[in-house]
Structure 1
Amino acid sequence: MIDLTASLPPLSLYIHLPWCVKKCPYCDFNSHQADRFEKEGKLPEDAYLAQLLADLDADLAYVAGRPIQTAFIGGGTPSLMSEDFYYRLMDALRDKLTWVDNAEITMEANPGTFEQEKFRHFRQAGINRLSIGIQSFQPTLLTTLGRIHNREEAIHAVEKSRLAGFDNINIDLMHGLPEQSLDMALDDLALAIQLDPEHLSWYQLTIEPNTEFYRRPPALPEDNTLWGIQDAGQAQLEKHGYAQYEVSANAKQNRRAAHNLNYWRFGDYLGIGAGAHGKVTLPDGQIFRTRKTRHPNHYLNTLPEALVIKESIEQEDLPLEFMMNRLRLFETFDLQDYQRYTYQALPDALLKACNTAIKKGFLDAEQWSNGKVQTTEKGKLFLNELLELFLS
């Protein structure tokens, strides 16, 4: 058996906090209304922290000597938890794991839960990047989306985050919303740009199963409007220095989300918390995905060794798994990265699919001749059709 420890992919950490104030009708994430779990007005912070750390302990064997490159605290609404929770969590993570210098550590936050003093404590605990879920500044659309904040609170959340010490901020903004016009979408984007975040996640609403919108579909804009929003919006972002580097992500220079880059480059990540997913490579070259039990009560009352469900990624599925991630990024990458991250020789099926993609104009022929892969503008527009070429 070959020991691949020294060449294992970079490792990140995802931490899931499953509670939110209110479940939004478009949300398919593992989130649960907080007031149904509170006792005496408080969430079970102590119990959840203890289980998170036990969950991490059970996964430590997968670290294999690697430092943590990035961490992302998602939800739910992680900012519902107290500052004391995060001081204790971050102290424990520093004790249990080795970190690279200046590791990017992101927390998701919603404007309706933003308190400047509380967020100053989060920054002092070691969280150095905020992702603020604004989604829209339009009052009617915020109501439709079930958001608990208003336009002014969204603006103030960004301003207060600066005062709390954050110099790396992402704004989450959606487009293609129910009955949204081109002007409404561009007005939202213009205000987000005016707030001057380092990163903008600008993505189209999709109707997902197991959501209220799926059960009662709203009237969405027509395709021509959606195309117009996408084209005009990307031009606006580029004009103001937000380069698109991923399907739904734009960033200022040197401000791309390091955590997301590790996902899309097929890096490894531990996932702890209710419903958290992970992807791990073992020193023998085996690659598998993990997922933890979803419901908070089940998570809190399960022995750590029974939390995880492991699913191996079969060799024949690796081309699709790898390309589905890498082609979300619009950067050029070396074809040898496939071997580096999967420990498998380049399969004929992958090479054949790439050649077909070149003929269709989805991949750049000149880059391919140099052993590199680059999505063309046409490939970006027809990404789903491009990815279908890699189905085994």
Structure 2
Amino acid sequence: MRASGSGPGPDRTPPLALYVHLPWCLRKCPYCDFNSHEQRGELPERSYVAALLQDLEGQLPRVWGRRLESVFVGGGTPSLFAPESVDELLSGLRALLPWRPDLEVTLEANPGAVERGHFRGYREAGVNRLSLGIQSFDPALLERLGRIHDGADARTAIEQAQRAGFERMNLDLMFGLPGQSLRQGLDDLRTALDFAPGHISWYQLTLEPNTLFAARPPALPPEDSVAELFERGQALLRRSGYTRYEVSAYALAGSECRHNRNYWEFGDYLGIGAGAHGKLTDPTTGTVTRLLKPRQPDAYLRDPQAVSSQPVAPRSLPFEFMLNALRLTAGVPASLFAERTGLSPDRIGTLLAQARERGLLDPDPAVLRPTEHGLRFLNDLLEMFLEDDDPPD
């Protein structure tokens, strides 16, 4: 069932972002469930960049007339690629798709996998936002996580990035680590805050399927200890001027990640690279389609334009929309549901009423926003929007 006049159309197509996946890393971390592959020998940088551009060229017919709002280069460990390769990549992207004038270009980097001087090269290539995978500044905790850097490497990387001119920077930190005490967790946050980054991603370690930690689980801190660390850490971040604008993202005013906000607001994005995902809305029909590239780098390099696609069934759209939108602490306008899914608001009216009655959603009908209780029990809230069958039109 489509909402009359409210679905996506030529003038209401969602913003478009681009995700670029560089799948190699020096060593696979035991908690990582991303599509990453340990480097064996010399990286095929030139052939992989060429494949990425060929990949994008093949997807252009899906996005004619649209411009990019953001680019995110993730991995793996993108900082294994030389600045010259990143420059070639970004130059090629600019030639294929129009960019908004103040486009955000993020590159992920690991302190143990970036050579001195590379930060300045990335900045000169056009990267204007850096995301550093710190995880912890404590050497013992880093060793337990299988990281290849120590605390000194992390501090040096941040300082070098700041000297290279990166004013927009994210620091990735984890908590609830094997053997981590309350003091160690707060010390990690205090150390990060000393550098005054605009953005901090602070999230709890989880044991994901198909990882080494899932097969051989480490001893994690008790739940009550982790809960206390979370509460005290949030208070510390608030006192330091950071707003929790997403479940695990904290930012100073104006430093939110535009690329990730587009995901959470159910925007569109192209994905290029081995194992990259995409989500596109047809401007004529409003159909939302998921796209997936081959996972293995060798298979991807053989045929960069290979892609599998699957339209999202209308019965799945409410859950997929809420899975993203309800991660935002300020929520989204209620009207965005119809704009981004093409479904009538009546489709979820009863569910919204039930969620508000349970105290999981803000009672204001103009906004879809989780309450504090809803954020704490977010999985329970999201499960309410799972549908088994498509209701009749």
Interval containing the TM-score (normalised by the shorter chain)? over 0.9
Alignment-derived partner of residue 19 in structure 2:
14
Alignment-derived partner of residue 312 in structure 2:
313
Alpha-carbon separation, structure 1, partners of 2:304 and 2:99: 27
Letter in 2 for 1:33: E
Alpha-carbon separation, structure 1, partners of 2:145 and 2:128: 28
**SS of equivalent residue, structure 1 residue 146:** coil
- Residue 180 of structure 1 and its aligned partner are, at CA, apart by 1.1
What are structure 1's unaligned runs of at least 5 residues?
none
Alignment-derived partner of residue 342 in structure 1:
341
**Is 1:288 matched with 2:289?**
yes
Query: C-alpha root-mean-square deviation of aligned residues, in Å?
Result: 1.4
**Contact between 1:17 and 1:73, CA under 8 Å: does it hold in 2?**
yes
- Residue 301 of structure 1 and its aligned partner are, at CA, apart by 1.0
Which of the residues 337, 350, 353 maps onto 2:351? 353
**Residues 58/201 of structure 1: CA separation in 2 closer, same or farther (3 Å cut):** same
- Deviation string 1:17-52 (CA, Å, 9 cap, x unpaired) is 000011000000111111x2x2xxx21112111111
Letter in 1 for 2:322: M
Alpha-carbon separation, structure 2, partners of 1:251 and 1:73: 20
Aligned residues: 381
TM-score w.r.t. the length of structure 1 is: 0.95
Letter in 2 for 1:389: M
- Residue 279 of structure 1 and its aligned partner are, at CA, apart by 0.5
Alpha-carbon separation, structure 1, partners of 2:148 and 2:379: 33
- Residue 282 of structure 1 and its aligned partner are, at CA, apart by 1.0
**SS of equivalent residue, structure 1 residue 6:** coil
Alpha-carbon separation, structure 1, partners of 2:337 and 2:128: 32
Alignment-derived partner of residue 5 in structure 1:
10
Letter in 2 for 1:52: L
- Residue 303 of structure 1 and its aligned partner are, at CA, apart by 5.4
**Contact between 1:116 and 1:163, CA under 8 Å: does it hold in 2?**
no
**Contact between 1:80 and 1:113, CA under 8 Å: does it hold in 2?**
yes
What are structure 2's unaligned runs of at least 5 residues?
1-6, 388-393
Alignment-derived partner of residue 327 in structure 1:
326
Alignment-derived partner of residue 301 in structure 1:
302
**Residues 3/383 of structure 1: CA separation in 2 closer, same or farther (3 Å cut):** closer
**Is 1:25 matched with 2:65?**
no
**Is 1:45 matched with 2:45?**
yes
Alpha-carbon separation, structure 1, partners of 2:375 and 2:174: 19
> Kindly, what percent of the aligned residue pairs are identical?
48
Relative contact order, CA 8 A, sep 6+: which one is greater?
2
**SS of equivalent residue, structure 2 residue 217:** coil
| TM superposition outliers: structure 1 runs of 4+ over 6 Å | none
Which of the residues 332, 355, 375 maps onto 2:370? 375
Alpha-carbon separation, structure 2, partners of 1:180 and 1:3: 47
TM-score w.r.t. the length of structure 2 is: 0.95
Letter in 1 for 2:76: G
- Deviation string 1:243-282 (CA, Å, 9 cap, x unpaired) is 0000000000010000000000000000000000110001
- Residue 3 of structure 1 and its aligned partner are, at CA, apart by 8.5
Letter in 1 for 2:362: D
